[in-house]
Every structure is written in structure tokens, then in C-alpha cells.
Amino acid sequence: MAACAASAFVILLAATHTTAVVGASQQSALRSASNASTQFEDVTRAAGIHFVHNNGAFGKKWLPETMGPGVAFLDYDNDGWLDILFVNGTAWPGHPGRHSTLALYHNNHDGTFTDVTRKAGLAVEMYGMGVAIGDFDNNGYDDIFVTALGQNHLFHNNGDGTFTDVTKKAGLWGPNEFSTSAAWVDYDRDGHLDLVVANYVQWSPENDIYCTLDGKTKSYCTPEPYKGTSVRLWHNRGDGTFEDATQKAGLYDPTSKSLGVAVLDANQDGWPDILVSNDTQPNKLYINNGNGTFSEKGVSAGIAYSEDGIARAGMGVDAGDYDRSGYPSVLITNFSNQMLALYHNERNGLFVDEAPQSDVGHASLLTLGFGCFFFDYDLDGWLDIYIANGHIEDAIERVQPRVRYAEPPHLFHNLGDGKFKEVTTSAGASFATPRVARGAAYGDINNDGALDLLVATNGGPAALFRNTGTKNHSLRIKLIGTRSNRDGIGAVVRMSAGSDTQSQMLRSGSSYLSSSELILTFGLGSHMQADSIEIRWPSGQSDHLTNVTADQVITIKENQGAIAAKPLAKR
């Protein structure tokens, strides 16, 4: 009789999704079922996305051809629906090939997108690489910064669906570099977004170096033969212009060969730090001193090298609190035969690479990773891992039979005990298809609270994947800064539901050449509400909310609390 009553009570819990505490074994079963049901459906064609990357290759095998492109999710017209931006290359001057531009797709609110590139004023030809999204002038509309081989570009959002190239006006014109990833960050917390830009190597058609895999034919070079170059930090003066603060801030380092940039608060002191992944050079961790300068701590923090002291080929990078410790750990993708790096934050200034002893390391040993990020794809409240893979040399299988040019991605499910399990093959056949992937980003394209994926391939078509089958609850947080920057970039949100507590920082950058949405998504599992939400703004202001119902997007304004709430679409 008692057993029957207990069983009935458990069934009632599952049916009504109450907020009562679920036993550990039951919670584990719920999480496993949720993970198994989640799929990523390829909706590229149905959505009207027909972007194909142009790397300009014409047989010379020039180094930049292997690198792009990046992608971005952004809501450029503030209609509450995520739009899509693709960065593109173009033909090399004086050589055969098609000419191409950026591509902006507007979300039609019905699962389809329309190419509005020309209408928006973004049909600009350049040899583009990456993109960073942020409202640099705090006018309420997100702007677009595009990195390139040669001149980078800043496009100001006019608020009417169009953009204006303000690169010269903003003081960003001049540097002729091989720029890769970028991130907006208010490093001095003055309320204005600054810009950190990664630069790769000193390359030009004139100094292109001959490399070969088989001793007979030219192949694409790795960066070892080329001289490095420094990242660049642009300080926002607050009047629409920027000044180069690289040396003043302590970031100048001409030995770097940088591909990825992530912003994090490594030591939880309230000041944003900067992590730079370097290709064949030590990774750099710049700790913010709180006075406009940084101190480089990569070696002492244990993040510069592999555990055997090797500077790996760092590509993409991200930071996230995957173990709910309150401190962000770090993910860095590397070359084939090097495996991923998963640096756990020990909360004492040190990081320890957990990958060699985990499924993350074993599964990624032969793949070459680019785009990467932590995200909660099944909304169970634990950050999972996505990796976009693809080699740089199409003939690699002739000399390394176990390594492939086109490679499937990695999707690692967080088991909640500090470990991950690869679930790529169970997430959908098209999703697991081998690609020559580069940039990748996440965002909720249909406002149902589940995170979808956007992936670009080098010299090939992009892919848009819709997240389906996720039954768990979520809560999405959109921030509006007042004393802080308008986007709220750098704000840390801490959310508790029952005995579960999570934290996320709203950040620009991360992944590889790409920008994910500027909204925070918290998976709540079976919880029907967040019991408490705390927002720590870059200005130092703290806001608190209690008993916030799940399955909605909440807009929170600094020092005012929630100013809007909208239910999520049904899944």
C-alpha cells in the first residue's frame, strides 16, 4: 500500500513538474532521458540559408585560405528574433575566382530567413575572418566588428535596419594585419565597450612560404615558419572613437600567433580578464589589475602549455562554470594528435587540464578543433561542450591515414560529476556528418528556450541546426545596462532553483571567429521556477529577483529589475 502511494507520488511529480526536490537517482534518470531525446535537426535548406564560404583558393595554397569563416547570431533590428551574419572571403586580387561579401539573414519569425545584405548596407567585399557583436555607443542597437586579412571594419547600427561603415571615423583605420577572433569587453568598467582583437602571423602573398607534406607537392603551412604579431586592444573613449591601448594596458606581445579570444573573470574579483589561445605559441591569460592594465599569468596559472610542457596549436576557446563551482574553467581546441584542453579552475589561481584523463581528451585525439563552446543543450542545468572539427589540408589522409580532412563534430554531455560523455552520434545523422568546420555559434532562433547551432565550413556551405526533443525547462535572461554598457557584457548572473545553483557571465567573443547570442540561457531541468536570481553588473550594482517562473525570457534593466517578460514558444 505504502509502495503504491510512493509510486503514485513519483508519477504525480513527473506529470505536474512540481518544484519538489527529486531524489538523486530520479534526477539522474530524468537527465539521461532528456539527453537521449535531444536532437539537432538540419534546417538549413528549409530556413532559406544558402550561404557558401569563399576562401579564394586558386591552387597556390596560401595560408589564409584555410582559416575562415566566422558566424554570428544577433538581433540587429531589436524585434526579439535572432538574425544571422556570415563572414566571407573573396577572390585574391589579380587571380581567378568569384567576388563575395558578408551575408546578413533576417529572421522572418516563421522558421525562415531572408538575405538582406544589400538592403542593410553590408554588401562589403573583404577577405573576412571573424566577427564580434556589441553596442559600442550604447544607442540600444548592436554593432558589428569584422576582422579580416588587411583592414578590419566596424559597422555602426543605425537603428533602422541599416549599417554604416565607421571604421575611419572611429579611429580604427590603418593597421594592416591578419586579424582573427575579437571580443567586446569593458575592461576598465567605465560603461563603454572596448575591443580586443587577436592577430595571427605576419603573412602576405609576397612572403608566402613553401611547405610540403610528401616532399613533392605544396601543402598548406602551419604557422611555425612565420613571425608572430601582437593582439591589439582598442580603448573606447566614449565619444564614438577608439585609441590603441595595447602597450599601455600590458597586452603587447609580438611573439603571439593568436586565433581565439575569451573573456572571463578567472579569479572572481569583479574585473574581466582576457584569455588568448595561440597557435604553436603559449596561450596567454591576462589578469585585470583593475587600473587599466593587465598582468600575463598564463604559465603560472598552468594554462600556457599542455601537461607535458608543449605549446599546442590553440584554435578556439571558451570559458564556463561547467562544474557549478562559481569559477569559470577553460576549453581550448587544438590540432590533430594533440586533443582538446579542458583546464579546470582550481579557484586558487591555478588551472589543471582534465582532458587527458577524460572522454573529452580521448575522443578528440585525432580531430582538429576550431569553434567550441560550453552550452546547456538539453537544459538540465549543466553546461555541455560542442566542438566544430575539420582539418586544414585536404590531402592529409595520404600521409596520416587515421586523420581525416572532413570530420564529425564533438558533442559532450555533462554528467554532472565533473565528467563528460560523447553523444555526437545520437544527436542526429546530419549533425554528425563530417565537415570541414570552422566558426560555430549558438542561439535560440525560434524563441522556444532551447539553444540551436550555426556552423560554417571552409570553402563550403553553412549549416543551421534546430534543437528538438528537449523537454526540460529553461529561463532566458536579457540584460540592459544603464551605468554599465548597454548590452550588459561582463555582468555575472547567478541563479538558484531548489538545491541547484548556476552562474554565467554575459560575454562577447569565444568559440572561433564567431559570436553567439547576447542572451543568457539557463537550463532548469524539472524546476518550474528560479527561486533566486542575482545580477552583478560591471558597474558594481547588484540586482536581485525571486520566484521567477520558468519558460520565459526576462528583460532585466540595471537598478530597475525585471521590466519585461515574454513566454517562450512551445516545443
* Nearest partner of 525 among 416, 368, 440, judged by Cα: 416
Q: Are 446 and 452 in contact (CB under 8 A)?
A: yes
Instruction: Report the distance separating Cα 210 and Cα 216, nearest Å.
Output: 11
How do 153-157 and 163-165 pair as beta strands? antiparallel
pLDDT tens, N- to C-terminus, the chain (571 residues): 333 333 333 333 333 333 333 444 444 445 555 577 899 999 999 999 999 999 999 999 999 999 999 999 999 999 999 999 999 999 999 998 899 999 999 999 999 999 999 999 999 999 999 999 999 999 999 999 999 999 999 999 999 999 999 999 999 999 999 999 999 999 999 999 999 999 999 999 999 999 998 888 999 999 999 999 999 999 999 999 999 999 999 999 999 999 999 999 999 999 999 999 999 999 999 999 999 999 999 999 999 999 899 999 999 999 999 999 999 999 999 999 999 999 999 999 999 999 999 999 999 999 999 999 999 999 999 999 999 999 999 999 999 999 999 999 999 999 999 999 999 999 999 999 999 999 999 999 999 999 999 999 999 999 999 999 999 999 999 999 999 999 999 999 999 999 999 999 999 999 999 999 999 999 999 999 999 999 999 999 999 999 999 999 999 999 999 999 999 999 9
Query: Which uninterrupted H or E stretch holds 88?
Result: none
3-state secondary structure of 187: coil
Task: Report pTM.
Answer: 0.94
CB atoms inside a 10 Å sphere around CB 357: 13
Query: Is the Cα dihedral 434, 440, 443, 449 positive or negative?
Result: positive
Instruction: Report the distance separating Cα 159 and Cα 213, nearest Å.
Output: 50
Say if residue 3 is exposed, middle or buried (CB neighbours under 10 Å; 0-12, 13-18, 19+): exposed
Q: Are 279 and 369 in contact (CB under 8 A)?
A: no
Query: Which uninterrupted H or E stretch holds 16?
Result: helix 2-16
Cis peptide before 69 (omega within 30 of 0): yes
CA 299 to chain centre: 24
Q: Quote the cell numbers at residue 413.
A: 554531455
Q: Are 521 and 474 in contact (CB under 8 A)?
A: yes
Q: Are 425 and 35 in contact (CB under 8 A)?
A: no
Radius of gyration of the chain (CA): 22
